[in-house]
Structure 1
Amino acid sequence: MKAQHLFVAVATLVSVVVIGKSTVMTVAQMESGHGEHKHGKMEVPQGQPAPTVDVVVVKDAKKGWNLEAKTTNFKFAPEKINTAAEAGEGHAHLFVNGKKITRLYSNWYYLENLEPGENQVKVTLNANNHADWASNGKIIEDTEIVKVSQTQIQQHQQHKH
């Protein structure tokens, strides 16, 4: 078991040295699944307009919620994922209650299920290399609080297509 821990630790160190932007996680975090992969921040270059994002979440007429990530000075570029960062383009990351749900490659996303109570729905704008876009040191993101009643959950469960 110690050899396995040593291998994981060395592999992590090599990855950090080679990649340069990964966050170092402990062996315990990796084994527990509680480590969170981070890609760092990417400051918008001087002279370039800073992108913005405004998250709007509305209840769908039948079931779930529709999310729109309204952006300015930003172009979704899914065809360039995992390439070098270019100002004003990339993708977004969607988080619900602090947990990353998915990448967004366009402005719209359908959220089928949210928990009863208050749900924190956050979208960050990300560069092609997955770094969080930042302006003046602040990550470019927006959060919407969506309140879900138990009645809404029951209505959604009873809905038939």
Structure 2
Amino acid sequence: MKNITRSLIIFLLLLLAGCSTHSSGDFEVIDETDSATAESKPELNIKIKIVQNEAILFVDTDLLISKVNYGKERKAGEGHIHVYVNNGEKQAITSFRYILKEVKPGKNVVRVSLHNNDHTPYGVYEVQEFYID
């Protein structure tokens, strides 16, 4: 019986020795707040005010709009705005207020998207319909 008890105690000690609380250093701890910030996208909200045959576009975003770095290398959290009216040509803007002149009467659609300095998209956009009498 003593042999079985000794064997059991030795087995348990060996088992516990294998379960160390020390890290082997094989993996790296990543700060989750840093990775979430790196992947976060800017916010976007647009409003449109109609004045005769013009539409005044108001853009609200937390993206830093940069005229100085427009067209240059990408910088996180910085960029400019692309505006498309009725699927027409892109209009790149660097202001929070933009006037769409001589818009056709009837239903119109504006698409506003946020882009990096180098024109790559942030993947953030908003589409709104508006009407001109």
What TM-score comes out, normalization by structure 2 length? 0.67
**How many residues align structurally?**
98
Equivalent pair of 1:83/1:129 in contact (CA under 8 Å):
yes
> Which residue does the alignment assign to 2:126?
142
Which residue, out of 35, 46, 49, partners 1:58? 49
Equivalent pair of 1:56/1:67 in contact (CA under 8 Å):
yes
RMSD: 1.7
Equivalent pair of 1:93/1:100 in contact (CA under 8 Å):
no
> Which residue does the alignment assign to 2:115?
126
Matched, 1:106 2:95: yes
Larger Rg computed on CA atoms: 2
Equivalent pair of 2:55/2:101 in contact (CA under 8 Å):
yes
What TM-score comes out, normalization by structure 1 length? 0.56
CA distance in 2, matches of 1:89, 1:123: 16
Task: List structure 1 runs of 4+ shifted beyond 3 angstroms.
Answer: none
Structure 1: 5+ residue stretches without partners: 1-44, 134-138, 150-161
CA distance in 2, matches of 1:53, 1:125: 8
Q: Identity percentage over the alignment?
A: 22
> Which residue does the alignment assign to 2:58?
68
CA distance in 1, matches of 2:43, 2:104: 28
Determine helix, strand or coil for the equivalent of 1:47. helix
Equivalent pair of 1:55/1:122 in contact (CA under 8 Å):
no
